[in-house]
Amino acid sequence: MPEDKQVLDTYKLNVNNILIEVLIVLYEEDTVPRYIVNITNMSKTTKIILEKIREEFISQVGTGVIELTESGGVETIKVEFRKELTKLLKKYFPNADDQTKDMLINYVIEQNLGLGNIEILLKDSQIEEIVVNNAKEPVWIYHKKYAWLKTNIIIPNEARIRHFATMIGRDVNKEISGLTPLMDAHLLTGDRVNATLEPISSFGNTLTIRKFATEPWTITDFLKSKTIDFETAALVWLCLQNEMSVMIAGGTGSGKTSMLNVISSFLPPNQRIISIEDTRELQLPNTLHWVPLETRLANPEGKGGITMLDLIINSLRMRPDRIIMGEIRREKEAETLFEAIRTGHSCYATFHANDVYETITRLTNPPINIPRLVLPSLTSILIQNRNRRTNKRRTMQFAEMLPNGTPNIIRQYDPLDDTMKTVGQMRVIPQTLRTFTGMTPKVIEEDLQKKIRILKWMVDHNVRNLNDIGILMAKYYRGKVVMK
């Protein structure tokens, strides 16, 4: 490497026994750092031989020497692929041990039946987003620590990007073509995928992969990272425990869905929860009585589509105690959600708005158009924010809805000292609790302090496994958790 560089980080990955070295480097002439991947246990000569094996394999398939069937799906093809590649590897690498052969086979399979070097990026837990803009420029990633980085991975041509999109869609019964050049789908691992085809995307075909957390964020993680503070977390817990509906709003990438997932752990285990999403991202503790539902696009003939509105209406017939929604985008979805709240269902949803007042404005104006007098059925609004300069995600506001449809902000984030502060007194929440539970202001304060002690204990003891938190919450609701 040239001398005019700064190595920001280096670490190693093991991807199916393929050893990867990751370097994050900032060159003098660059505007953003580079994410450089090197395969350390495979020489250039080995890669050339593997390419020859691949070509020989393809030629044998083309001439009918090897027959592959798609009847069993891509996994069946991989099994057959592995059998035949093993024979070819014995020919070219007769002295290789079983582990080396397995590594070489995995590499060839990923390059031909997988997503190529994108598979390496998918295995890096530090990466949140993978972006292919076209075949002319490198793949970009969004790194948890370093934000946007440019990689040294380039997709060879536009046809390969289109092939990746088609393959991803086929696995989940979705289609992308010249007639339907936009696709929302997900990998079999749960990672969310958006694809576009040119000329809709002017510079070339695109792929955007939002990685699905193998270990989902939990309230302990959010508290340790200061994404939310103990007092606000206890307030949200109080609302969820007592069946008050909450909306989580924020800008793009602010952590709305992650926060929705995190606070869902506060739900009691003896109630039925129905979740509704376009692409499933929620992961709830296995202690909960949870039924996840997912929308479906119509087929090319325009049939078979299942919308979020269809699922909301259907969920009301499933005897839900709680309804969790993905992002509200349309008038009918919002109307049905608020009607569900008004008929006695506790509902939780995400919404795209940057603060409490913008949330109210967007909800009460076109295209959503919810009457302001309906808004008080929503007990509270939680605002998430991401500072793009510092890359910090923070809870910015917590507000309750007053009877006249205006917000009362109770907690507000102060960016000067990176803390949440109390800026208003609760009015509606204590009144609601007094009416339905008999809790007095003193009892409410004692309950909040107990919740704070439990949350601090969870952080101190690093209780961050989703199902462990579910068990702790189940004990709490049975009165088995006592904090002095």
The most confident of the ranges 47-61, 91-105, 188-202 is 188-202
C-beta of residue 28 within 8 angstroms of C-beta of residue 4: yes
Two tokens, residue 222 = 């959010």
Residue 453 has what pLDDT?
Answer: 97
Residue 410 has what pLDDT?
Answer: 98
C-beta of residue 257 within 8 angstroms of C-beta of residue 350: yes
Region 71-97: mean pLDDT is: 73
Residue 138 has what pLDDT?
Answer: 96
Two tokens, residue 73 = 């799906």
Percent of the chain with pLDDT over 90: 63
Region 117-129: mean pLDDT is: 92
C-beta of residue 165 within 8 angstroms of C-beta of residue 147: no
Region 350-355: mean pLDDT is: 96
Bridge partners, 34 (sequence order): 25, 150
What confidence category does residue 484 fall into, taking pLDDT thresholds of 50, 70 and 90?
low
Region 32-58: mean pLDDT is: 80
Residue 58 has what pLDDT?
Answer: 67
Residue 317 has pLDDT above 90, yes or no: yes
Region 121-135: mean pLDDT is: 95
Region 292-319: mean pLDDT is: 87
Residue 71 has what pLDDT?
Answer: 46
Residue 76 has what pLDDT?
Answer: 66
Question: Among 14-18, 126-130, 330-334, whose mean pLDDT is lowest?
Answer: 14-18
Region 172-181: mean pLDDT is: 88
Instruction: Return mean pLDDT, the chain.
Output: 89
d(CA 261, CA 364): 26
Residue 119 has pLDDT above 50, yes or no: yes
Residue 361 has what pLDDT?
Answer: 96
| Domain ranges within the chain, ordered by starting residue | 219-477
Residue 157 has pLDDT above 50, yes or no: yes
What confidence category does residue 67 fall into, taking pLDDT thresholds of 50, 70 and 90?
low
Region 310-333: mean pLDDT is: 92
Residue 183 has pLDDT above 50, yes or no: yes
Sorted by sequence, the CB contacts under 8 Å of residue 408 that are 6+ apart come out as 399, 400, 401, 402, 424, 426, 427, 428
Residue 64 has what pLDDT?
Answer: 52
Region 301-328: mean pLDDT is: 90
What confidence category does residue 41 fall into, taking pLDDT thresholds of 50, 70 and 90?
low
Residue 120 has pLDDT above 80, yes or no: yes
Question: Among 194-203, 384-393, 468-477, whose mean pLDDT is lowest?
Answer: 384-393
Residue 219 CA: distances (Å) to CA of 227, 346, 376, 386, 471: 9, 21, 27, 18, 14
- Please tell me the CATH superfamily of domain 219-477, with its number: P-loop containing nucleotide triphosphate hydrolases (3.40.50.300)
d(CA 154, CA 323): 43
* Strand order through the sheet with 289-294: 289-294, 272-277, 322-327, 346-352, 246-250, 380-387, 392-401, 407-414, 419-422
Two tokens, residue 215 = 């270990």
Region 1-8: mean pLDDT is: 76
